Structures are given as C-alpha cells and as structure tokens.
Structure 1
Amino acid sequence: MVIAERITAEPGKLGGKPCIRGLRFPVAELLGLLAAGMTAEEIVADFPYLELEDIPAALNYAASEIGKPIIAAE
C-alpha cells in the first residue's frame, strides 16, 4: 500500500513499517543514516537499490507524521 510518495507499508513486510518503494528498507533506517551524518550520495552509494529521490521522500513522510497530533486513549 502506498502511504506517501515513494513510501509503502505492507502488513507482511517488516511488520508493516513504512519502507522505501516496497523494498525491505525502512524509512526509520534511512533517517538514522542521515542523523548519523551520511550524505544522500553516500547512502545511495552504499545501498545502490535506493535512489536520490528516496531521501527527500522519506524526510517529507517523516515530517508529515511528526506533525500529526497525538490523541490520548480514553
């Protein structure tokens, strides 16, 4: 299921975690690499199945998710 541009989630793949383009590469892992200081070019060189366009797509998805309000359970 496509949940954002270049971002998919499937119940049977990585427990439904958001992934890049249906690959077994979670958005969270990509964000972790960026947080560790890797550049987009370094990431694509280390993971050749990723594309440069995947990086801003993951960042946009993360930004949209973090901006959602948290609703407390009643």
Structure 2
Amino acid sequence: MAFERITVDPARMGGLPCIRGMRVTVSAVVGQLAAGRTIDEILADYPYLERADVLAALEYAAAAVSERELPLHGDAR
C-alpha cells in the first residue's frame, strides 16, 4: 500500500512519519483525533493541512498496527 501523503526523512522530525514532508507527524495528528478533536478542529490549528492529509494519517496508523498484535490491558491471552 502506497502512502503518497506520508513521508519519512531521517533528517526531519527524527525520522518519524510526517505529512507531505512538513514538520507535522502522523502521531501528532492521530493523537489529536484520539483526544476527541474533530478533523475540522485539526485543520483550523494547521491551516496548511488538507482533509486528505488527516485521513491519510489515520490510514497510515491503522496499517502500522495491523501487522502485529499489541497487548491490551486485561487481555487474558
């Protein structure tokens, strides 16, 4: 799966996945969504981002965790 809007550059933001080469990390965007912020609120804070950027960050994060199982609190396995 290709992520055209997500870039990784070892010289930028410590090599973390970023949105279109900017200094906005995927984790920053996804973290705001997880905190209950809406896409419109995120776009107001980052006017240089586009709705497709936020959705790409969410898609990238979902793909990143789909490759492995993460232990959850109370998981009896």
TM-score normalized with structure 2 length: 0.82
Report the aligned-residue RMSD: 1.3
What corresponds to 1:32 in structure 2?
31
Separation in structure 2 between the aligned mates of residue 62 and residue 5 of structure 1, nearest angstrom: 14
More strand by share: 1
Q: Could you list the per-position Cα deviations for residues 22-41 of structure 1 after superposition, in whole angstroms to 9, with x for gaps in the alignment?
A: 00000000011101111101
What corresponds to 1:21 in structure 2?
20
Separation in structure 2 between the aligned mates of residue 40 and residue 46 of structure 1, nearest angstrom: 10
What is the total number of aligned residue pairs between the two structures? 68
What corresponds to 1:50 in structure 2?
49
Q: Could you list the per-position Cα deviations for residues 7-30 of structure 1 after superposition, in whole angstroms to 9, with x for gaps in the alignment?
A: 000010011000000000000000
SS at 1:28 equivalent = helix
Q: Which amino acid aligns with 1:22?
A: G
Structure 2 unmatched runs, 5+: 70-77
Report the identity percentage: 51
Runs of 4+ in 1 over 3 A off after TM superposition: none
TM-score normalized with structure 1 length: 0.85
The alpha-carbon deviation at position 5 of structure 1 amounts to: 2.6
